[in-house]
Chains A and B, each alone.
Chain A
Amino acid sequence: MMPAWLAALNPGWLMILVGIAALFIPYRQVRQVLTVGTPIAAIALLVMAPHEVDLLTAEALDITFSFYRVDSLNFIFGLAFLIASLLNAIYALHTNNPRQDGMALAYAGAAVSASFAGDLMTLFVFWEITAITSVFLILQAGTRAAYFASMRYLVIQILSGVILLDGLSYVWRYNGTLSLEAFQSFSDPGAIYIFIALGIKAAFPFMHNWLQDSYPKASVVGAVVLSAFTTKLAVYGFARLFPGFDALIWIGAIMTVFPVFFAVIENDLRRVLAYSLNNQVGFMICAIGVGTAGVGNALALNGASAHAFAHIIYKALLFMSMGAVLYRTGTTKASELGGLYRSMPWTTLFCIIGGLSISAFPLFSGFVAKSLTMSAVAYEGVSDPAMVVVWLMLLFASAGVLEHSGIKIPYFAFFGHDSGKRVKEAPFNMLLAMGMAAFLCIAVGLPAIIPGFGYQWLYSLLPYPIEASSYQPFTLEHILTQMQLLVLATFAFILLKRFALYPAEKPGTILDTDWFYRKAGYGFVQWSGTVWGKMGPATSTLFTRLSERAYKRLESAFSPRGEIARGGLSGGASIWTAVILAAVLLMSFLSA
């Protein structure tokens, strides 16, 4: 039995505290032990924590705060965050950067703490800490682009926090509680604010561009760390607070489709991965929207959680492989890469495993996770024709994922046109982290030949494990249909390549919604500045002249030397004033 203080220790808090301490530890070896050891200790703490109990509470201002509460929904998110944090720490072992080590650990800790929060205020506090800690990971890149991107990132993340605070104030004012109960409709007090706040972090369409703007500009290690936490924390928030909201179905479906088109023309492969992240989160959001609608309930929420778990690992793996390429070659631009499999065969292999996983090939993690969502949506499609459209959109996006993450990333970085770059293989610690992630991608995706292992292990961690255990992803028809989709899509790639119909990778900036604030908005502010610069002096001159003139008029009338003060007129005026006053008083006295 654990001592009480240890049982009440939120693994996220432990990571934040160690992360802050790591900032001030100059000895590299000590930091390495801490960054790798803390996530392991945190996983142990989490696994031993009892479920559905408030493990740490505090009371202030008549509000009960619950700092640490584990249940079947947040357990899997917390576990995925901790595994990601461990992989990140191993991936970063070759670096010697206290700020990056500390902030990466604290950022992961904040995401874990936020997912184990038992009330909205605690969620808000750690929500903000994720924003503040993560911005340093972008800044660590040290470039001009990263500096400005990090400032934009910070503004948007803090905005999300402020809107969340606004929403929870409404909840507190009208419900008198801050508990994490799911909303029933958008007309609930505060619901719409909290929805928008989560939506910004989940990178909803039109709010998505902070992600593609900042992640690809982060440092090699930073981008890997960033890919895991913020968006998936928002996914958890939606699963907790907005399950079964129909709006999420459509938002999610659109999110899966539109990034596909940007990814195909994008040249920076880390930015392609950022679009891919958007598309994957769309699947989860869509599943949460299906959430409580009928029998799909358990299936859909299981789907979102399983997808989040698998996604955190394979997306980290893909970012790691591109990070390794960036580390050795100094670029991730597809137009400058190609043929790297000669120099980096292990990285190539791991990247391909990540690509197969995200594309949901059978025997890889994406297959067993995405199947749940697809089945839940198809189940709804029986009674609702609109859901057939959603299902077709998700299927379309599945082919799109194969295009940008399954084929484009490995093909243009490691194969394709030989760039002539001959570099060293990635450092051993990077390969180790990638190898571990690749192992998990396969281990979780295998059929349960030994009961309880393979996909059954993942399913046993889901929010509704009993319902999950009756779901069978490895049926002949399912494998066949998935292989048809993927093989024919791959064949389309080969065909398009053969007939030179595949657009060549070209350097350039792809416009997206950030244009509105980076060009149009910035331009407007600059224009206003110029206009004000010219108008300011003109208006103040005008104002000075007008007031001068008015002063002169008044002075000439009322001053001791003025018109009114002159001659006998003033005596007569005072008598007349007295007479009128007496008349008014008399009338009011008589009428009263």
Chain B
Amino acid sequence: MSNDTTPPVRDTSGRFVKTAAEKVNAMSRTPDDGIHPMSRVLFGWTEKKGIGGIIFWGMAALSIILVLLDLIVPRHEKIGIANAVGFYALWGFAAFSFVVLMGWPLGKLLRRDENYYGDLSGPPADIDPAIADRLNAGEPKAFEGEE
């Protein structure tokens, strides 16, 4: 670590192990702000400015490339229509959009109040004890049938 005062003449391999162990330890602990150090390594890129645009145009370009590749790669589909250029691309796009857009009318049709069946209850008993006390305050511990 930065405040390590061990003289540099000492056994360097031992120091390397020690630094590595300290680093791993630091990377596996969540500080008080609740932001895990690993999150910056793994997903820090999602917070970059303009990343939305990059992903959007990147995916658009990738989509076009994949469809164009269809012209080069020979295909031997068992099912006739699947041989059409960009068939899978179109089917995937259309299916996905259809499913999501159907969410609007279906949500209106099928969504009811959260307590519709009258059995709305909190989280299960085996959640983190640190938050269980806060969430279950005042509620009986376990339900074992009507009195």
User: Quick check: A379 and B30 within 8 Å, CB to CB?
Assistant: no
Q: Which residues of B contact A542 (CB under 8 A)?
A: none
* B9 interfacial by beta-carbon distance below 8 Å: no
In the complex, are the beta carbons of A143 and B122 less than 8 A apart?
A: yes
* B4 neighbours in A (Cβ, 8 Å): none
Closest to B134 in A: A330
- In the bound assembly, the distance between CA atoms of A260 and B98 in angstroms comes to 11
A493/B123 in contact, CB under 8 A: no
A100 to B126, CA, bound (A): 10
Q: Is the CB of A509 within 8 A of B111?
A: yes
Interface string of B28-47 (1 = CB under 8 A from A): 10100111101101110010
Total interface residues on A, CB under 8 Å, equals 90
Closest Cβ–Cβ distance, residue B13 to chain A (whole Å)? 28
Q: Mark B82-126, 1 if CB is under 8 A from A, else 0.
A: 100011111111011101111110110011111111011111111
The answer to whether B99 touches A403 (Cβ under 8 A) is yes
Question: A371 at interface (Cβ–Cβ under 8 A)?
Answer: no
Question: Using an 8 Å CB-CB cutoff, how does the interface string of A372-390 with B read, 1 for contact, 0 for none?
Answer: 0001001101100000100
Q: Which of A27-35, A108-116, A185-193, A495-503 contacts B (4 or more CB under 8 A)?
A: A495-503
Contact stretch, chosen from A154-162, A420-428, A569-577:
A420-428
Nearest-neighbour CB distance to chain B for A317, whole angstroms, equals 17
Tell me if B19 counts as interface (CB < 8 A to partner A): no
Which A255-269 residues sit within 8 Å CB-CB of chain B? 260-262, 264-265
Distance to closest chain A CB from B47 (angstroms): 9
Evaluate contact between B124 and A503: CB separation under 8 angstroms: no
Q: Do A487 and B131 touch (CB < 8 A)?
A: no
Q: Which residues of B contact A264 (CB under 8 A)?
A: 99-100, 102-103, 106
Residue on A with the closest CB to B115?
Answer: A509
A403 to B101, CA, bound (A): 12
0 or 1 for each of A203-241: is its CB under 8 Å from B? (1 = yes): 000000000000001111110000000000000000000
Known contacts A143-B125, A480-B69, A510-B111; is A489 also within 8 Å of B143 by CB? no
Whole-angstrom distance between the alpha carbons of A451 and B123 in the complex?
A: 47
A454-498 toward B: CB 8 Å interface, digit per residue (1/0)?
000000000000000000000011001111111111111111101
A559 to B56, CA, bound (A): 101
A343 touches B96 (CB 8 A): no
B residues 61-90 with Cβ under 8 Å of A?
A: 62-63, 66-67, 69-70, 73-79, 81-82, 86-90
User: Are B46 and A415 in contact (CB-based, < 8 A)?
Assistant: yes
Q: List 16 A-B contacts (CB under 8 A).
A: A143-B122, A144-B121, A220-B127, A265-B107, A345-B39, A348-B42, A378-B77, A480-B69, A484-B70, A485-B88, A488-B67, A490-B96, A492-B93, A503-B100, A509-B116, A519-B117
A sample of 5 more A-B contacts (CB under 8 A), given A144-B121, A503-B100, is A343-B35, A388-B81, A396-B95, A484-B67, A496-B100
